[in-house]
A and B are shown apart, each in its own frame.
Chain A
C-alpha cells in the first residue's frame, strides 16, 4: 500500500450557538490513498459535510477547529496552531492538489463571470497560464466533462446553464489544475435522478482515467455502492464503522450501519414494512460518555455505557467502534427476495368498484412572467392532458422528475391549481364545477400533506391550534374541552404525546413536524390524502418511521393515498399502482410490480436504470 495522500488525525470541530456549543465533529481520523474512492456516509447532522469543509479550511464564523490536524502528502494543511505557513500551504494545495464540488450547483458559480473565466482563474492561479492558454484549456475541460459545444459554452454565463450542466462545469473547474483528490459534498443531491446518473458516470469515468482519488460525502448508500471502493459510516460526529464498500454494504457490523441499510427501501423489493431505527440522533451539545448510538441500539449491552473506540477489525479489513457488533452473518436481517414478495393486493379489483377520483384529460396552464396591467399574459402548460383513476383504499404513486407536473396534478385535484380543461371528479362530483361553498365542503374529504415539514406549520401557532383549526373554521367543534380531547386523540394517532399540544413547531424535529402535518390532515376525517413528497426532506431512518405510520393509518382508517414522489424506491414500497409523469404527461401507469419489472415506456426504463442501487444479490458479496 502506498503512502496516504490525505491524513486526518483526531479532527474535532465545534459550533458556538446561542443554545450551547455543538460538538459537530468529535475526533475523527482516517487516511485516503492515491486513486481511491471513499464514501463518507451518514444522516444529516452526523458531521460528514463539516468534516469536508474543515479539510478545505472552510469552517469559519460560528464554527472552529477545536483539535486535530490534517496532512497533505505528509505536511500540515490544517491544525489548531493556525500558523501562516500552514495557511499559505493550504491555499497553495487547495484548487491545485485538492479540489471540491458542492451540493448546490445553482449557487456555486459567480453569476457575473463567464464559465470560461471562472475555470481560467484556477489555471492562471495554479498553473501560471496566460489568459489565452487558460481559455483554450477551459474549452478542453468543458469537453472533458461532456458539455456539448464547449467552444460556445465557454463564454456563457452561469444562468445560461441548467443545474446538471453547472455541476459539470464545476467539475471541470475542480479538475482544471489536475488535482489528486476531489472532495464531492453531496454533488448530486439537488439534481434529478437521470441527471444524477450522468454525473455519477462522469465521476467514475474521470476517476478511472485520471487516477483521481475521490472523497464522496453523501447520505445515499446507493451512491456509495455505485462509486466507492471504501466507505466510512458516520454517526453523531464520529466514525462508527469503516471498511471496503463491498463488505460494509452487505455485512455491516455496526448496528447503526445495519439499521441504515435495512431502512433504505430497495427499488426491486417490496416487503410490507420498512425496518426503522427508532428514536432520534443524540443532542450534539452534550458531552460524549456512553456510545452515542446506545439509546437507539437493539444490541446495546452494559459495556455500551462506555464510549467504544474505533478499533481495527481483526482481519484488518476495516475499523469498527462497537462493543456488541452484529453477528457476522452475510446480512443483518435477511430481506425477502424480489420475486418472493408478491404483496397481497390491498386494492379491490378495479373493475368491481367505482373510483374515488377520476381524472379525465386534465390540463393545467399557468400565466408566466410579470403580469401586465392590461392584456393577456403568456402561459405555460404544467399538466398536459392527464387521465387516471384512484380507487378507494389504494395508494397511487405519482412519480416524476422536477418540472414533470406531478405536484401540479396533485394540487389540481383540490383545485388548488386551476383546472384549465378536462375534468376531475371526486366521488362522482365534478371538482371543477363546484361553487366556493361546495368546494370548501368537498375539500374536507381531500387533504394535503406537504413536503417541507419546516414551512408547513405556522411558527406562531401551537400544535393544538394547528391541528384543531380545521374543526373551528368549519364550525364542527365549538366546545373547547371536546376540541382539546379531539386534538389529543389525533396526536396519539400519529404517535405524538398529548403534551405536544401546547408547544410551538420549533420545539420539534423534522420527523415530528411531519407527524403534526399528518395529524392536521386527518382532523377532518378525509377520505383521500394527497401526500406531496411527504418524506423526501427526511433522513433515511426517520423516513422509514413516517412511511410506516402512513401505512398503519391507511389500514386503520381506510384512507386512499395519492403519493407524489421523485424517489422510485419509496413509491415502490408504499404504492399499489404507479403513474410515471414526464413533461406534463403520464407516460406509463399500472400496478407497481408490472411497471417496475416490465417497464414499457423508454422514459420509465431510463428512470429505473438511473437509480443508484445497492446490489443485494449474493454474487455482489464477493466483489471487490
Chain B
C-alpha cells in the first residue's frame, strides 16, 4: 500500500493570522469598527446619555451656538436649534433611526433577495427565467422616483421608509447570490453533494449558503451604508421620518432655513451622517479584501513591496 503523503507546506495553513488579528493590523478598518461600536452603544443607551430631552423646546435658549463660542453654554454643548432643542441630544437620539432603518432594511431586502437569488440560481430553468425577468425589470425602474411616489401616496413614516427602501434594494442581493450560485453550481463539490443524495434544501443551505457568506457580508455592509444615506436624503426631503421623531436628515432640513445664522444646525447632523457612513464603508472595504483569500494574498504582497 502506498504510504501517506506528508505535506508540511499545507498544514502550516493553521498558523495564518485570524480575522481579529488581521483587523488589528489594519488601522483604518479598526477605526471604523471602534466608531461603529461606540455609535451602537450611544444608540442603545441614548436616553441615559443624552443631556436633554431631544424634543424639549426652550424658546428663550433658541439658536444658541456651541459651547466654545461666544454666547455658548456648556448646558448645550453643540448649541440649540430654532426651537431651543439641544442639538447634541437630538444627534444622540437620531443615531437610533439611522441604525434601525439601516439594519431593518438590510435584513428585509437581504433576506428576500438571497432567497430569490438562491432559488433562481440553483433551481434554474423557467424559475430562473421568471425571477431574472422580474429583477431585470425592476432594476430598470426609476427606483427613487417610484419610491417618492409610494411615499406620497401612502404617507411617509419610518415604517414606510424601511419598506420602500427594501423594495428598491432586494435586487442587488438576488443578483449577487444568483451569480455566485451559478458559478458554484457547476463546481464539483456541489455536483457531488447532489449525486450523493443530498436534497435540494440541503445543498442550498449546507453547501451553497456557507460559501456565499463572504460576498454577502460585504454586500450587506455596503448596502447598510447606502441605506443610511438614503434614509437621510428622504428625511431631508420631508418624505422620510416625520417630526416629532428625530433623524439626522430631518435635522439638516430644519437647520437649512437657519444655515446662514446658525451653521451648527446643518454641520453637526451632516457630519454625523458622513462619519457613520464612512465608518461602515471602511469596514466594507476591509471585509471585501479580507474575506477573499486571493485578494488578501495580493494585498499582503503589495504592502510588502515598498520594503524592498
Contacts and interface: CB of A to CB of B under 8 A. Distances in A.
B131 to A, nearest CB: 11
Interface string B1-23: 11111111111111111000000
B7 A440 contact: no
Contacts of A456: 187-189, 192
Given A19-B12, A458-B211, A552 B1 contact: yes
12 contacts: A15-B301, A61-B305, A278-B5, A416-B191, A444-B197, A456-B187, A469-B193, A469-B196, A495-B4, A506-B10, A509-B9, A552-B1
Given A18-B297, A61-B298, A508 B2 contact: no
Contacts of B130: 373
Contacts of A280: 5-7, 9
B195 interface: yes
Contact of B304 (A62, A283, A470): A62
B16 A520 contact: no
Contact of B195 (A20, A286, A443): A443
Contacts of A495: 1-4
Contacts of A469: 193, 196, 198
Interface of B: 1-17, 125, 129-130, 133, 187-189, 191-199, 202, 206-207, 210-211, 296-298, 300-302, 304-305, 308
Contacts of B13: 19, 506-507
A457 interface: yes
A149 interface: no
Given A473-B198, A507-B14, A542-B5, 11 more contacts: A19-B16, A61-B301, A62-B304, A278-B2, A283-B12, A372-B129, A443-B197, A474-B197, A495-B4, A512-B7, A512-B10
Interface residues of A, number: 58
B188 A548 contact: no
Interface string A137-168: 00000000000000000000000000000000
A511 B10 CA distance: 12
A509 B10 CA distance: 6
A74 interface: no
A506 B297 CA distance: 15
B5 A545 contact: yes
A372 B298 CA distance: 40
Nearest to B198: A473
B188 A279 contact: no
**Listed residue (A276, A282, A285, A458) with the most chain B CB atoms within 10 angstroms of its CB:** A458
Interface in A360-415: 371-373, 414
B301 A62 contact: yes
Contacts of B193: 458, 469
Contacts of A61: 298, 301-302, 305
A18 B300 contact: yes
A297 interface: no
Contact of B7 (A451, A452, A509, A548): A509
B121 to A, nearest CB: 14
A460 interface: yes
A300 to B, nearest CB: 15
A473 B300 CA distance: 41
A278 B210 contact: no
A473 B199 contact: yes
B189 A457 contact: yes
B207 to A, nearest CB: 6
B187 A455 contact: yes
Nearest to A512: B5
B212 to A, nearest CB: 10
A497 B3 CA distance: 10
Consensus secondary structure, chain B interface = helix
A72 interface: no
A450 interface: yes
B195 A278 contact: no
A53 interface: no
Q: Which 6 A-B pairs have the closest CB atoms?
A: A62-B301, A456-B188, A450-B188, A460-B210, A283-B9, A16-B304
Contacts of B196: 443, 447, 469-470, 473, 520, 524
A1 B207 CA distance: 62
A474 B199 CA distance: 10
A160 B198 CA distance: 41
Nearest to A469: B196
Contact of B9 (A285, A452, A461): A285
A276 B2 contact: yes
B134 to A, nearest CB: 11
A549 B8 CA distance: 22
B33 to A, nearest CB: 21
A455 B188 CA distance: 6
Contacts of A371: 125, 129
A457 B196 CA distance: 13
A289 to B, nearest CB: 14
B187 A278 contact: no
B292 to A, nearest CB: 13
Contacts of B133: 373
B188 A545 contact: no
Contacts of B7: 280, 508-509, 512
A373 B207 CA distance: 29
Given A18-B297, A283-B9, A473-B202, A496 B4 contact: yes
Contacts of B15: 19
Interface in A252-278: 276, 278
B4 A452 contact: no
Contacts of B5: 278-280, 509, 511-512, 542, 545
A77 interface: no
A610 B308 CA distance: 48
Contacts of B17: 18
B180 to A, nearest CB: 13
Contacts of B308: 64
Contacts of B3: 278-279, 495
A448 interface: yes
A284 interface: yes
A524 B195 CA distance: 12
A511 to B, nearest CB: 6
A459 interface: yes
B4 A473 contact: no
A17 interface: yes
Contacts of A285: 9, 12
A378 to B, nearest CB: 16
B300 A17 contact: yes
